[in-house]
Structure 1
Amino acid sequence: MDKLFGIDFGTGGCKAMVIDTKGKVLASVFREYPSEHKKPGWSEQDPSLWLDALTAAVGGCKEQMEDGFEGLLGLAVTASTHNAVLLDRDGKVIRNCIMWNDQRSGRQSARLREEFGDKIFEKAMAMPSPTWTLPQLMWVKENEEENFRRIHRLMFTKDYIRSFITGDFVTDVVDAQGSLFYDARKKEWSEELCKILGLPMETFPKVVQSKEIVGRVREEAARLTGLPAGLPVIAGCSDTAAEDLSAGAVRQGQIIVKLATAGNVNIVLDDAKPHVKSFTYPYSVEGKWYTVTATNSCASANRWMRDAFYPVEKELFEAQGEDVYLYMNKQAEQIPLGSDGLLFHPYLLGERCPYFNPDARGKFFGVSMMHTKGHFARALLEGVAYSHPLLAVNIS
């Protein structure tokens, strides 16, 4: 039986799935990993945890199939986008990866908008904000000078994982676009934008289309992960671009709503139509574009609720092999619409669309003596839901 293998490294964990060529799921595994929030607005991950999750996910999928990886045709790796993994000359990770939802570079973003905003928007189709690689690296340059000097290569999450598997130094057009160093219309890294931080062009990987085969599983990677040696591996793309494509969005004007770590309302376009209040990327379908509007904290807000409000229940349910989220949902279901006046602003890591305010913070308000944990669980879900109509208005 012919099989296809996809692995996604989302912000909350690694999702791996093997399907046949008709789309039937043959194996599926999820492995959660943490983000580190050392200061308000900060969000980092240790790339070594991604490699641990890769090995666990590959092994888990293989165990679920009687014939293992027999008939496997290829592998694709996707991930949350434009998370820069900084490597030194020995190929070692310099520091934890600053994630797309990290807000520490707010001041750097403001200065970039003031000094280079028009130039950046013309080439990169987005205004500087803390979600992009350029402001994040400016923060590193200004606050971790030695780490910045050590940068020899820059890779993004999926590319770091895939390079571990194949040894390539490649990215795709979607991740390149999210860096603010790439000129998508010319389909090349912009020397002018790279000069803003003084980064050599050689720092950045070769850019290809998402569907291109960029390498094969190395013998060493096969030994460490259990993947078949020699298996073809394609470049892959951002998790959002892959999800939108898998939902069937390929034509002009098709809209997709995504509820993940962040919440998105996206639209597929035949031509790029950049706007300062949205993000425009080349699509995983060559020749198409997609525009994204996003609220920073969606499922991640619910995960925070689980860890902050339900730690005892989480431990008890996990010990029984059950999902504490189902318990949280049941509590929320028992509360009336509107949560008896309890409201939640889901700005736990600042906010992107439509406010673009890295200093925004979450808030429960209207709290009274009658409110229970179930009220807070429901108010959080409602607050996240209320953010999405703003995204739809923004994208229109």
Structure 2
Amino acid sequence: MNKLFGVDFGTGGCKATVIDLDGNICATAFKEYPSEHSKPGWSEQDPALWIDAFITTVTKCREQMTDGFEGVLGLAVTASTHNAVLLDSKGEVIRRCIMWNDQRSVEQSNVLREQYGERIYEIGMQMPTPTWTLPQLMWIRDNEPENYEKIDKLMFTKDYVRSWVTGDFCTDVVDAQGSLLYDAIKKEWSPELCGMIGLPLEVLPEIRGSQEIVGKVRAEIAELTGLPEGLAVIAGCSDTAAEDFSAGAVREGQIIVKLATAGNVNLVTNSAKPHPKSFTYPYSVAGKWYTVTATNSCASANRWMRDALYPVEKELAEQAGEDIYEIMSKQAEEVELGAQGLIFHPYLLGERCPHFNSHARGNFFGISMMHTKGHFARALLEGVAFSLYDCLQVLKDFTENMEDIVIIGGGAKSALWSQIVSDIFGLEVKQPENAESSFGGALMVGVGVGAFASEEEAARRCVRMKKTYQPNAENHHKYMRIFEIYKKIVKASEPIWEELAELS
């Protein structure tokens, strides 16, 4: 039986998935790893954790299949974008990787915006914020010049892992775009953007198509993991692009709501549509682009609540073999809509769309003696959904069609959270059967090796919807009243965020 293999590196962990050519899951494995937050707003990871997670999840997948990796046609590695891994002349990692949700480069972003903002937007289609690699590298140059001088090669998360597997030195168009070092019009690294921080072009990888075969599994990696030596490996792409593809988004106008570490509301388009309050990327689907609006903390906010408010319940759930998130969800479900006046803003790591304020901070507003953990759990789910609804408003500048929406990501496993999103949006929301980045990466492999004639065939053959959420009109009306208060709190908080930033 022929199979396709995708391995994805999300911010919270690595997920590996093997599928057959009809989209059925043959094997899957996950390994969690931590981020380090040594200072407020900082977020870093050790790339060695990714290699360990790759070995673990790949090995577990092989062990789950009676015929092992026999019949596997190819491998894709995908990951969150913007994360630059810096290597010295010996190929050693220079420092921990600054992650996409790190907010330390505020000052550098402001300088770039003031001095070059219009030109950066013209070339790279985005305005500089701490999310992007360009200001992150500028921060390293300004604060760690000894590390900056050592840079011999720059890779992104998926490329670092894939290079370990194959020995190649390349990236794909999606991750190139995510660096803010790429000329989106000329489709090449931009000497002008790199020149703004004195970065030599030769440290940057070759740019390839997401589905292009760029290497083969090396003998030593085959021996270590059980992967077939010589197995084809495609370039891969960002986790978001892969996940959108896994949801069957191959046509203009399709909208994808993602409840993952971050929360995204994305729109597929036939051409680039730059907007100062969104992100614009070439898509892994040939000839398409996608517009991204995003909130920084989504499932990561729920994970924070799990660790901060539910440590005892978490330990007991693990001992009983239960899912702590299901326990939290049941508590939230017992609380009425609106959490009896408790409102949450999920700005735990600053915020992107539509505020683009790295000083933004999360809060629970309206706490009273009557509120329980269940109220906090409910308010968190609603607060993230309100933030995503904020993102949806930006997309209305690009499309009037809001009828083709799918919901994906780990958070979408919660029926309560998905229904809250549908009620707040006031729109029908569909949930695919298998919508994850590793699944989308596996589909991309199928296109890359010729198992599918096109992305459309891959989606038609392998993507199936399992559930549809219909909005409750009365709930939507109530939520819109709360949303107005939600926005007023944001407006009132903005000057306070700045004061807090000065103190911290």
TM-score normalized by the length of structure 2: 0.78
**2:69 touches 2:226 (CA, 8 Å); kept in 1?**
no
Segment of structure 1 superposing worse, 153-162 or 252-261: 252-261
What residue is the counterpart of 2:58 in the other structure? 58
What residue is the counterpart of 2:272 in the other structure? 272
Q: Secondary structure at the match of 1:249?
A: coil
Paired-residue identity, % = 72
Amino acid across the alignment from 1:380: L
Alignment of 1:191-270 (within 5 A): 191-270=191-270
**Cα offset, 1:205, TM superposition:** 0.2
**Cα offset, 1:316, TM superposition:** 2.1
What residue is the counterpart of 2:101 in the other structure? 101
2:186 aligned with 1:176, yes or no?
Answer: no
Amino acid across the alignment from 2:312: V
Amino acid across the alignment from 2:295: T
What residue is the counterpart of 2:357 in the other structure? 357
**Cα offset, 1:63, TM superposition:** 1.0
**1:345 touches 1:363 (CA, 8 Å); kept in 2?**
yes
What residue is the counterpart of 1:144 in the other structure? 144
What residue is the counterpart of 1:329 in the other structure? 329
Amino acid across the alignment from 1:248: G
User: C-alpha deviations, 1:35-74, integer Å up to 9, x for none?
Assistant: 1111111111111111111011001111111111111110
**Cα offset, 1:322, TM superposition:** 2.3
**Cα offset, 1:319, TM superposition:** 2.6
User: C-alpha deviations, 1:130-161, integer Å up to 9, x for none?
Assistant: 00000001111111111111111100000001
TM-score normalized by the length of structure 1: 0.99
**1:55 touches 1:226 (CA, 8 Å); kept in 2?**
no
Amino acid across the alignment from 1:308: A
Q: Secondary structure at the match of 1:26?
A: strand
Moved over 3 A (4+): none
Alignment of 1:376-395 (within 5 A): 376-395=376-395
What residue is the counterpart of 2:124 in the other structure? 124
Q: Secondary structure at the match of 1:228?
A: coil
Question: Structure 1: where are the runs of 5+ without partners?
Answer: none
Q: Distance in 1 between matches of 2:154 and 2:216?
A: 21
**1:172 touches 1:210 (CA, 8 Å); kept in 2?**
yes
Amino acid across the alignment from 1:323: D
Relative contact order higher in (CA < 8 Å, ≥ 6 apart): 2
Q: Distance in 2 between matches of 1:83 and 1:316?
A: 35
Q: Distance in 2 between matches of 1:10 and 1:276?
A: 26
Q: Distance in 2 between matches of 1:119 and 1:177?
A: 15
Amino acid across the alignment from 2:292: V
Specify which structure has the higher proportion of helix: 2
What residue is the counterpart of 1:48 in the other structure? 48
**Cα offset, 1:222, TM superposition:** 1.4
Q: Secondary structure at the match of 1:221?
A: helix
User: C-alpha deviations, 1:320-359, integer Å up to 9, x for none?
Assistant: 3321111111111111111111111100000000000000
Q: Secondary structure at the match of 2:360?
A: coil
Q: Distance in 2 between matches of 1:241 and 1:107?
A: 29
Q: Secondary structure at the match of 2:207?
A: strand
User: C-alpha deviations, 1:5-36, integer Å up to 9, x for none?
Assistant: 00010011101100001111010111111111
Question: Structure 2: where are the runs of 5+ without partners?
Answer: 397-504
Amino acid across the alignment from 1:155: M
Q: Secondary structure at the match of 2:22?
A: coil
Count of paired positions: 396
What residue is the counterpart of 1:135 in the other structure? 135
